[in-house]
Chain A
């Protein structure tokens, strides 16, 4: 151990710093090992600690966390910043909302259709009578759409800011499309007035607890999938594509396929988050699907720390609670504070919360007395 530390301080001392930049948490064994355990523990303890109101909020924020982890995979590792993740989140939400709406309507036509003079349930609504179909659609519709759109974009070798602009245009197009579908999808008002899921009232304490548990479980699974991907060869290839797409291409890989797959996966995760979210919030409308909600997910990842996965979900939950608290103090002012937070992060803490935590951890190990440092290292091994 001491020999290794000595080598690190020698002529090769430059080396660890360069690695840290791309994978801060992975190189800190103590954090890397304890963080998932602490996270799962905190999620498990939350129902016993928080009142139903705050538990419900946590459940909702975890849904944004799932979408944020997907974006971190895409942006933090793959270098592709999407400004449409809110749109894919909402697509997942609409899929689940259609099931909830049909369930709430009993055997009759959903209320907004009646108001709009639609006399018969449109054909594409029929399969949404089944929960399993709705859940699968919430993952597959955003996932396949994202993968397909991604393939078209990446085959044309559109990259960087041009990719971001295209995704933003996509968000506007889809939002406009949904606003226009008054009779089919509720138009500007969206879908609302849900009642129950599997016979449990959504707004009841039991409903809140169940939806929280589902969100927490989904967040844990999404985290596990993302971590497995980024710690394997796939994650290293994503970094390689980000840092040298041409080199990757001339090694025989088709970068467009890998980028489209990653985009599709990020969109599927966003859809999963949306599907879990809609039951908890009770409404989905085009207001949640445009550019602003999409940028908000980008901010969650940036504040949490890009390229760490854990940072994305931690950032999402913390920023969302902050938003909630500040929103009640300064109604309407939150958008400005969100913008200020984003600028502060980019200028002062480009590696986000995860980066700051890694720096603090390293500083602690350096200044802490030998005993503390030893025990810290022991836990890491």
Chain B
């Protein structure tokens, strides 16, 4: 297995507060890798550092075949195949579902936006993503009129249509109903065949079902790493975050 993302000694500082301290992490190709930990552990900040939303104070972020991307602006990283899904659904409410996907699928340059139409294969890719995310029937509705879970799927679909190498998902099932969560877990299996996934999630049941590798963060540092069963058995993890409830989850 090759490594898609390798983070070495990453630190992020906000006004003297060390949100992420000396974190090293590797994400293997084709894996679904989860970051868990209590609030303020630095999970979202870690995703932010990878996609360029925050500047690291120290450390390197190596993307497979591209070297250190820590200094590139956000849109350049997106073009390198890093897709970011935000915690609250971040879509364009005034555009239709299809128009949302078209903007994601189109070449992101000024000249491309002004002068070139969408290639037939891109249109086919949109149709396929509409099927995958179960939004075919809603494609002509304004995205703002979708249910919360559908908005989350649309945002994931916008990223998938870009054929990313690495997907960064921040709490993909937050605010979803139990049924939507189950469907999203199934969707995650489809996504894992297309892209490597690094996700942040508080829903341990979802993490157990979806993720192969779990990294536990605590106060900006890596506490431990392994499969969900392994980390759930670690007494430090139980003490700092999971508690008894999650041990029961992990045990099945």
Whether A251 and B103, one on each chain, are in contact in the complex, defined by CB atoms closer than 8 angstroms, is: yes
- Please state if A14 and B145 are interface contacts (CB–CB under 8 Å): yes
Residues of A within 8 A of B78 (CB): 249-252
Contact with A along B72-112 (1 / 0, CB 8 A): 01110011000110100011111110010011101010100
CB–CB B162/A236 < 8 A: no
In the complex, chain A residues whose CB is within 8 Å of the CB of B92? 236, 239-240, 243-244, 247
Interface string of B99-133 (1 = CB under 8 A from A): 10011101010100110000000000000000000
The docked-state distance in angstroms from the alpha carbon of A56 to that of B91 is: 47
Q: Assuming A18-B93, A234-B113, A237-B113, is B75 touching A254 (CB within 8 A)?
A: yes
Q: A261: which of B110, B145, B158 is its contact (CB, 8 Å)?
A: B110
Given A236-B95, A239-B92, A247-B92, residue A258 in contact with residue B110 (CB < 8 A): yes
A233 and B162 contact, CB distance less than 8 A: no
Which secondary structure characterizes the binding site on chain A? helix
Residues of chain A with a CB closer than 8 A to B83's CB: 250
Q: Is the CB of B51 within 8 A of A15?
A: no
Cβ-based interface call for A108 (8 A): no
- Residues of chain B within 8 A of A243, CB atoms compared: 92-94
Tell me whether A15 and B110 are in contact (CB under 8 A).
Answer: no
Smallest CB-CB separation from B144: which chain A residue?
A18
Interface size on A, residues (CB 8 A): 31
Instruction: Check A257 for interface membership: any CB of B closer than 8 A.
Output: yes
| B142 in contact (CB, < 8 A) | yes
Contacts of B96 in A (CB 8 A): 19
Docked CA distance A14–B79 (Å): 35
A contact residues around B250 at 8 Å (CB): none
A244 to B110, Cβ gap below 8 A? no
Report whether B145 and A247 are in contact in the complex, using a CB–CB cutoff of 8 Å. Answer: no
Tell me how far the C-beta of B242 lies from the nearest C-beta in chain A, rounded to whole angstroms: 31
A252–B108 alpha-carbon span in the complex (Å): 6
Closest 4 CB pairs of A and B: A252-B78, A252-B108, A22-B94, A18-B142
A residues contacting B by CB (< 8 A) are: 12, 14-15, 18-19, 21-23, 229, 232-234, 236-237, 239-240, 243-244, 246-255, 257-258, 261
